[in-house]
A and B are shown apart, each in its own frame.
Chain A
């Protein structure tokens, strides 16, 4: 067994101008969680497969006289296994602790954080909030990732607590796998496009479900002459994200409160690049195809649609792997995760005007400062659902 790498200390996380200031002990709490999550994935994670192979599957076969037919049958069987239950209980606690630890750090300094955000937000036309935008029903039904209040919660009107809490804890959840600004996904997109289309400068880029803009800021900085727009329905996340982007110097990036299911405000064929990162799994069964349709409508001929996600389930993926990848769906408040990953994404994209022959799927791994932050490894010891490597599901829209 190879030795797992040690996550960098929380003090290596970049404190941009609106980042919460951690006390010594608050940083230490995140250090514990980052190391604990690594341990759970690398040292104990393989125990789930062992329990399945040695105990759960043989019992299932004996009782049913056949193998499990889908990931749900595996889950029901595994949920009776004492070892898997204990592992899940530990993991669930780690997720809850991350929220409590982040919220206590953010809420004790909320006055300062709100004031810092105001400095970057007031009087700037790069933040456009629209109180008529409703929290979608599928978002309001449950607090995603066990994040109290989800992306749209407020402790008091106009605050940035949701965004700040989200930002400060990503380090702990991913063991530092997303880098100093938790933007390894966005950095990876920049690296990918520079290789894929050297010299290409899109005129307009749209990022859907941007939350606090982690993954769109690198794009805005990489294409300083491009007009970049990021939309989300959650004002508290946008307020924080806009201030963060401004603090990081992304002045060509606008944050607009808008529901991607209805992007009437944007004209047909008006963007060269429409994209999402780790977003599709947070939608609903009817919202997802509608959003792909709207995205295809506003995408210019020859333009790029790109969705970064964890790998889709397919017949080629073993059922056990589908089951373990589903853990977050049922244990970390990701209600759409399981069904989204089984969708025929390529079929939906084709139906919405991006034919199969212009589609592609490619692997993308977080780009981080590897002198300080760990490079993501796949396979053994992978923290399923949080691994900083993804599949990019994309299409170049046919030229008219």
Chain B
């Protein structure tokens, strides 16, 4: 620990250099930052839970020190990485589906399609 600097405040210092804005409304930029930080924290919680489950399974009882000291072996590390990847794929679904939609830009809306089907 250290007493002379507010490390929590300093951790979030802004880097020098004007931040690009990605959306017309700056509130969307800020909201996305919060969503992404939360997405990261949910991933952290899931990993912590996985650690607890693995330790309980192996030992029946655990301490907080056990959690801090836990180092996954190769297989567990890979399983946890797969879980993280799967989690990311799930939360990024909308962006990924927008990407797929780029392949089919001429895709008709369901409303258009329903008109066509009525006349078929």
Q: Which A residues are closer than 8 A to B by beta carbons? A: 4, 6-9, 11-12, 23-25, 28-29, 31-33, 35-36, 38-39, 43-44, 46-47, 50-51, 54-55, 83, 85-90, 92-94, 96-97, 99-101, 103-104, 107-111, 141-143, 146-150, 155-156, 330-331, 333, 335, 372
Contact = CB atoms under 8 A, between A and B. Distances in A.
Given A35-B88, A331-B20, A83 B47 contact: no
21 contacts: A24-B70, A31-B47, A31-B84, A32-B40, A35-B88, A43-B96, A44-B99, A47-B102, A50-B99, A86-B22, A89-B23, A97-B36, A100-B11, A104-B8, A107-B2, A107-B7, A108-B8, A110-B7, A142-B16, A142-B17, A372-B74
B2 A9 contact: no
B44 interface: yes
A333 B47 contact: no
Contacts of B77: 8-9, 11-12
A384 B23 CA distance: 23
A158 to B, nearest CB: 12
Main secondary structure of the interface of A (DSSP, over half): helix
B78 A97 contact: no
Given A6-B85, A36-B88, A89 B43 contact: no
A95 to B, nearest CB: 9
Given A7-B81, A108-B1, A39 B88 contact: yes
A46 B5 CA distance: 43
Contacts of B4: 156
What are the 3 closest A-B residue pairs judged by CB atoms, nearest first?
Answer: A6-B81, A47-B99, A104-B11
B95 interface: yes
Nearest to B12: A100
A25 B71 CA distance: 12
Interface of B: 1-2, 4-5, 7-8, 10-17, 19-20, 22-23, 29, 32-33, 36-37, 39-40, 43-44, 47-48, 51, 67-68, 70-72, 74, 77-78, 80-82, 84-85, 88-89, 92, 95-96, 98-99, 102-103, 105
B32 A29 contact: no
Contacts of B37: 93, 97
A28 B11 contact: no
Contacts of A44: 92, 95-96, 99
A91 to B, nearest CB: 10
With most chain A CB atoms within 10 A of its CB, the pick from B15, B92, B98 is B15
